[in-house]
Amino acid sequence: MIKRIIKTDRLMTTILIRLMVGMVFVSEGIQKFLFPDLRGAGRFEGIGLPHPEFLGSFVGFFEVLSGLLILLGLLTRLAAIPLVIIMCVAIFTTKLPMLADEGFWYMLHASRTDYAMLLGSVFLLIRGGGAYSFDARLSRQ
């Protein structure tokens, strides 16, 4: 089971996707704790999600933890799963209402980071951590 989780391709360029996804999620997760009214519980309350205080910390924790694991390339596929879920929820709760209220082009502009993070996370879920990852080192042993 663990071999399937850490299995990865040998592409050297995967580190670029890992750096992009990992750094953005670590940063966003930390901001949920530093600025809870703007990025965490306050934002979740504003879009009508239940238990915003819990959700703010919960999502922030998984963004930081998963982002760090992805930066290290450790358990990359496993770490990508919560990030895919987080991005799907973000798109459905914030961008689809924006589509209805503001229109197609406004929604596309506002969702560019969301789609980049979703697709980057899906890429890592499919391909793994790449050549320069702890997953690659562990799978060789």
Q: Where are the domains of the chain?
A: 2-140
Answer yes or no: is pLDDT of 141 > 90. Answer: no
Q: Could you tell me if 9 and 123 are in contact, meaning their C-beta atoms sit under 8 angstroms apart?
A: no
Task: For the chain, give the mean pLDDT.
Answer: 95
Answer yes or no: is pLDDT of 16 > 90. Answer: yes
pLDDT score for 70: 98
Place of tokens 């991005």: 87
Write the pLDDT tens digit of every residue in 54-81.
Answer: 999 999 999 999 999 999 999 999 999 9
pLDDT band at 140 (very low <50, low <70, confident <90, very high): confident
pTM (2 decimals)? 0.93
Answer yes or no: is pLDDT of 26 > 90. Answer: yes
pLDDT score for 117: 98
Cα torsion through 37, 43, 49, 52, rounded to 10: -20
pLDDT score for 23: 98
Helix locations, 1-141, DSSP H: 2-6, 14-34, 36-39, 41-46, 52-72, 76-90, 96-102, 104-110, 112-127, 134-140
